[in-house]
Amino acid sequence: MKTVLFCQNPYAFGILEPIKEVLKEKGFEYLWFVNAPILEKFPFKNDPFTSNMNDVKEFGISPTSMNLSYNKNKDLMKSVSISGKHTLLLEKEAIWMEDKPEKVKYVVKKYCF
């Protein structure tokens, strides 16, 4: 299983560290995503990390194939205004998948088992 540990605030390092330890214990791959403004405070510099959203691979669904309704686009923009523009592709994918249980099952089977 591959996991991305998202850190937008320095306090998240301590919250996510136990999860990282479990992932390491089980031999799973993980990647820290650390917002550039807090990168200097990042304490796990020997672990794999990035501040570039391009390094975080989505689940393989082409962004152009994820057409959202007007209302879902409004939800997307509201979410991104809170979480930051760097999360746009992941947020779009999550909103697009909300009413597609077959896609969710596919992703869970592919990446979790």
AA letter at 33: F
Query: Are 53 and 1 within one domain?
Result: yes
Query: Are 48 and 92 within one domain?
Result: no
Query: Are 108 and 68 within one domain?
Result: yes
Residue 66: per-residue pLDDT = 78
What is the pTM for the complete model shown? 0.54
Query: Are 49 and 97 within one domain?
Result: no
Query: Are 63 and 100 within one domain?
Result: yes
Residue 96: per-residue pLDDT = 85
Residue 113: per-residue pLDDT = 60
Residue 59: per-residue pLDDT = 41
AA letter at 13: F
Query: Are 53 and 85 within one domain?
Result: no
Mean pLDDT of each 10-residue bin along the chain, 113 residues long: 80 90 87 88 91 64 75 90 81 84 76 63
Query: Are 49 and 62 within one domain?
Result: no
Query: How many domains is the chain built from?
Result: 2
Q: Which token pair is 49?
A: 């990390």
> CA 20 to CA 5: how far, in whole Å?
8
Query: Are 73 and 111 within one domain?
Result: yes
CA distance readout (Å), 78 to 10, 11, 67:
23, 24, 17
Residue 44: per-residue pLDDT = 93
CB 8 within 8 A of CB 35: yes
Give residue 96's Cα distance to chain centre.
Answer: 15
Query: Are 53 and 66 within one domain?
Result: no
CB 28 within 8 A of CB 1: yes
Domain enclosing residue 20, as ranges: 1-57
